[in-house]
Amino acid sequence: MDDFEALANAVALEGRTVLDVGCGDGAFVRALRGAGADALGVDIDVTRAREIDPEGRYLTGGAQDLPLDDRSVDVATLMRSLHHVPDPHSAFPELRRVVRDLVYIAEPLPVGAFFELLRPVDDETAVRAEAQRAIQASGFEPVQTIEYDVVLHLDRLEQLRDRVLAADPTRAERYAQEEENLRERFTPGAYPIPMRVDILRPR
């Protein structure tokens, strides 16, 4: 199962206003629009999203300060983005303010072969755990929890490097320092990434 399939199976999208928080290059916004949603994205830098998708709706802002009116979206999605918020707890007052119906949070868990392979370059154990604590303390009503694996197929170490640096170019120096270590530990094959989804409703 991939991330969008998990969302589409769980939440009605067509005809609804859906906000993707931490939209990156806008890939998820484009997928939402393709599924019939009135989609928009927010991120601290939406330059790349606007270049790729000039017809899309992209706003500059952070999860803790959403540039949107009160109760202006039906659904908000946070796809692997909550653990990147400096204080993930600060996202929930804003989500409560702008969301009418559901918040859909998909977070990678700090377990599994891919996580262990990448840990020397970027150990996200603490930030992922804090994101889970923020979800539990959010004050939102839990609606559903979904767990699934996204399977990443890596035939060459270079594919790992490309993925790591595309997600965060600032990792380049650290990656170079650890490359020989990674090469010794790398085995071509399938790397499952365990995911947890929490679907929440503002109380």
pTM value > 0.85: yes
The answer to whether residues 90 and 49 touch, using CB atoms and an 8 Å cutoff, is no
What pLDDT, on the 0 to 100 scale, is given for residue 1? 83
Reduced to 3 states, what is the DSSP secondary structure of residue 66? coil
Per residue in 24-69, pLDDT tens?
999 999 999 999 999 999 999 999 999 999 999 999 999 999 999 9
CA–CA dist 72, 99 (Å, integer): 6
Instruction: Report whether pLDDT(200) > 80.
Output: yes
CA–CA dist 4, 26 (Å, integer): 13
Question: Which among 70-79, 156-165, 176-185 has the top mean pLDDT?
Answer: 70-79
Average pLDDT value for the chain: 95
Element (H, E) at 190: strand 189-201
What pLDDT, on the 0 to 100 scale, is given for residue 100? 97
Reduced to 3 states, what is the DSSP secondary structure of residue 103? strand
Task: Quickly tell me which residue has 């017809």 as its tokens.
Answer: 55
What pLDDT, on the 0 to 100 scale, is given for residue 163? 87
Half-sphere exposure of 36 (CA within 13 A, CB side): 7
Instruction: Report whether pLDDT(134) > 80.
Output: yes
* Higher-confidence position of 58 and 170: 58
Instruction: Report whether pLDDT(168) > 90.
Output: no
* Residue ranges of domains in the chain: 3-110+122-150+194-201
The answer to whether residues 119 and 185 touch, using CB atoms and an 8 Å cutoff, is no
Task: Quickly tell me which residue has 């000039």 as its tokens.
Answer: 54
Per residue in 78-91, pLDDT tens?
999 999 999 999 99
Contacts 24+ apart (CB under 8 A), 179-184: 181/120, 182/117, 182/120, 182/121, 182/157, 183/157
Of 6, 12, 39, which Cα lies nearest the Cα of 105?
A: 6
| DSSP bridge partners of 20 | 41, 77
Of 53-57, 59-63, 126-130, 160-164, give the lowest mean pLDDT range. Answer: 160-164
What pLDDT, on the 0 to 100 scale, is given for residue 166? 82
Q: Is 32 left (phi over 0), alpha (psi -120 to 50) or beta?
A: alpha
What pLDDT, on the 0 to 100 scale, is given for residue 137? 96
CA–CA dist 48, 141 (Å, integer): 34
Instruction: For strands 17-21 and 73-79, give the pairing.
Output: parallel
What pLDDT, on the 0 to 100 scale, is given for residue 167? 77
User: 3-110+122-150+194-201 has which fold?
Assistant: Rossmann fold (3.40.50)
What pLDDT, on the 0 to 100 scale, is given for residue 93? 97
The answer to whether residues 76 and 104 touch, using CB atoms and an 8 Å cutoff, is yes
